[in-house]
């Protein structure tokens, strides 16, 4: 999203009071255009599918999605939204911190995973980061996913697993950038920490996508965690 172009946002949240609080937040927040607000996932999925069938531009740039709702849940809503319009970024906003739930949402295509207990400033910063192509996980959420991976694969990685980055031909710098994404850092934070320009970080991320055969930060982080690449 360009700096002078607001992010078209849709809220999907079944709790009317909390949805109202979010609406008030985004009506005042700079850089966002609150385009729609829904109490369930079915209506936004239909809207995205209709736009695709009519070959129209997707109705929003970013969807803020609750996880547990009557009818279609947030994971299935995310999966169907991304299938209809992959360019729409979907960010889960939930109270759930269980690593299996987080991983399920990421595997469904979620571009971000934020917690409802986050402060308003943290929520806005997280959404701006995702809108700009930033990392999908806060450090706390990333740690919980790592915990799950350790539970699934409790044994130390084999020699083959240790060599995975070499087999994938990731350079040392690309591994550093990927590690930053896994830790929940934005592109700008990765650039600052590594002393690189934002453009250089984006170039490395493009190479990481190609080598890992993925198309988003979420997919890159998911594969890195699954295969213990970093």
Of the chain, the end-to-end C-alpha distance in Å amounts to 29
Provide the CA 128 distance to its chain's centre, in angstroms: 11
Instruction: Give me the pLDDT at residue 77, please.
Output: 95
CATH number at residue 205: 1.10.10.10
Final residue of a domain: which of 92, 117, 132?
132
Domain-embedded: residue 107? yes
Instruction: Give me the pLDDT at residue 151, please.
Output: 60
**Is there a single domain that holds both residue 213 and residue 113?**
no
Final residue of a domain: which of 116, 132, 148?
132
Question: What percent of the chain has a predicted confidence (pLDDT) above 90?
Answer: 47
Phi, psi (rounded to 5 degrees) for 130: -65, -40
Domain-embedded: residue 144? no
**Is there a single domain that holds both residue 14 and residue 78?**
yes
> What are the C-alpha distances in Å from 106 to residues 110, 146, 207?
5, 13, 21
d(CA 93, CA 55): 29
**Secondary structure of residue 154 in the 3-state scheme:** coil
Identify the bridge partners of residue 115 per DSSP, sorted by sequence position: 94
Phi, psi (rounded to 5 degrees) for 163: -85, 0
**Is there a single domain that holds both residue 14 and residue 125?**
yes
How many structural domains does the chain have? 2
**Is there a single domain that holds both residue 127 and residue 166?**
no
Instruction: Give me the pLDDT at residue 229, please.
Output: 78
d(CA 184, CA 143): 9
| E-state strands within the chain | 7-12, 32-38, 62-65, 89-94, 112-115
d(CA 68, CA 62): 19
Domain-embedded: residue 143? no
Instruction: For tokens 């999203």, name the residue.
Output: 1
Domain-embedded: residue 149? no
**Is there a single domain that holds both residue 164 and residue 56?**
no
- pLDDT tens-place string over residues 144-183: 666 666 565 544 444 444 444 444 689 999 999 998 887 7
Domain-embedded: residue 66? yes
Final residue of a domain: which of 132, 165, 196?
132
Q: Residue 34 has which token pair? A: 């609150």
**Is there a single domain that holds both residue 126 and residue 190?**
no
Average per-residue pLDDT for the chain: 83
Domain that residue 60 falls in: 7-132
Domain-embedded: residue 37? yes
Domain-embedded: residue 146? no
**Is there a single domain that holds both residue 20 and residue 86?**
yes
**Is there a single domain that holds both residue 66 and residue 172?**
no
Length of the chain: 230
**Is there a single domain that holds both residue 127 and residue 163?**
no
**Is there a single domain that holds both residue 23 and residue 108?**
yes
Per residue, the 3-state secondary structure of 2-21, as one string, reads CCCCCEEEEEECCCHHHHHH
Q: Is the pLDDT of residue 60 over 50?
A: yes
- pLDDT tens-place string over residues 63-118: 999 999 999 999 999 999 999 998 999 999 988 877 777 778 877 888 888 888 88
**85: how many CB neighbours lie within 10 A of its CB?**
21
């Amino acid at each position: 999203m360009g700096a002078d172009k607001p992010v078209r946002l849709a809220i999907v949240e079944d709790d009317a009071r909390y949805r109202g609080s979010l609406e008030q937040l985004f009506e005042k927040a700079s850089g966002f255009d609150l385009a729609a607000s829904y109490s369930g996932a079915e209506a936004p999925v239909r809207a995205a599918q209709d736009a695709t069938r009519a070959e129209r531009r997707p109705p929003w740039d970013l969807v803020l999605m609750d996880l547990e709702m009557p009818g279609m849940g947030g994971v299935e809503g995310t999966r169907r939204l991304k299938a209809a319009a992959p360019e729409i970024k979907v960010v889960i906003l939930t109270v759930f911190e269980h690593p299996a739930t987080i991983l399920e949402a990421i595997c469904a295509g979620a571009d971000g995973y934020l917690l409802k207990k986050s402060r308003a400033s943290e929520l806005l910063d997280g959404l701006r980061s995702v809108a700009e192509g930033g990392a999908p996980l806060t450090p706390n959420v990333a740690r919980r996913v790592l915990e799950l991976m350790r539970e699934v694969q409790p044994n130390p990685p084999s020699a083959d697993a240790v060599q995975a980055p070499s087999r994938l031909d990731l350079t040392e710098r690309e591994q550093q950038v990927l590690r930053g994404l896994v830790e929940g850092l934005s592109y700008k934070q990765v650039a600052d920490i590594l002393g690189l320009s934002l453009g250089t970080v984006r170039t490395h991320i493009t190479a990481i996508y190609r080598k890992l055969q993925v198309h988003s930060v979420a997919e890159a982080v998911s594969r890195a965690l699954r295969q213990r690449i970093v």
